[in-house]
Amino acid sequence: MTTTKVDEEYPDNKLTGALFEVYDSEGDAVDTLKEVSEGVYEPDGLTVGNYTLKETKAPDGFDLDENAYPFEITENGDVRNIETLAGVGFINNPQKGDLVISKRSSDKKLEGFSFRITGKAVTGQEYDQIFKTDAKGKITVKDLRVGTYTVSEIADETNVRYNCLSLYR
């Protein structure tokens, strides 16, 4: 039996660092899968029988799949590919969060300021987006993958006009 661990949003991205346990029909742990190549996991060897596969530790930056996946070995040397999504592999959902930027100013001008968010998710995807503040001076970025990011205010026409008006008051 074998399984390939993949990122739900990027199925070509094989995931390393997961831990899997194999349980027999009595619910006893009988084997732990070993990572034999990047994102590919196999047991040491299972005999004929009914089993259940459970992920016990997710790769960094991903949610644990708490489901149990039954499978059967019908003859010695039988190879089973355990997949949570047929043809793709054993998928994991990336951990995500929301980022909120709040602009403040003494004259209450808050709308139209641009901010750039750059960085990299722990899974390696680069991120580079520009956003503008709303009437309340807020920017909300939903479902940003766990990673390291930098937020920078951009000198654009709103920012420059606002700062120039402030200098000449």
Q: Strands of 90-92's sheet, edge to edge?
A: 34-37, 40-42, 3-7, 90-92
Q: Whose CA is closest to 26, among 52, 54, 2, 56?
A: 52
Q: Which whole number is the average pLDDT over 105-130?
A: 91
Label residue 109 by pLDDT band (50, 70, 90).
confident
Q: Are 14 and 4 in contact (CB under 8 A)?
A: yes
Q: Are 39 and 15 in contact (CB under 8 A)?
A: yes
Q: Which residue has the higher pLDDT, 46 or 150?
A: 150
pLDDT at 168 over 50: no
Give strand ranges (E) for 25-82. Answer: 29-32, 34-37, 40-42, 49-57, 68-73
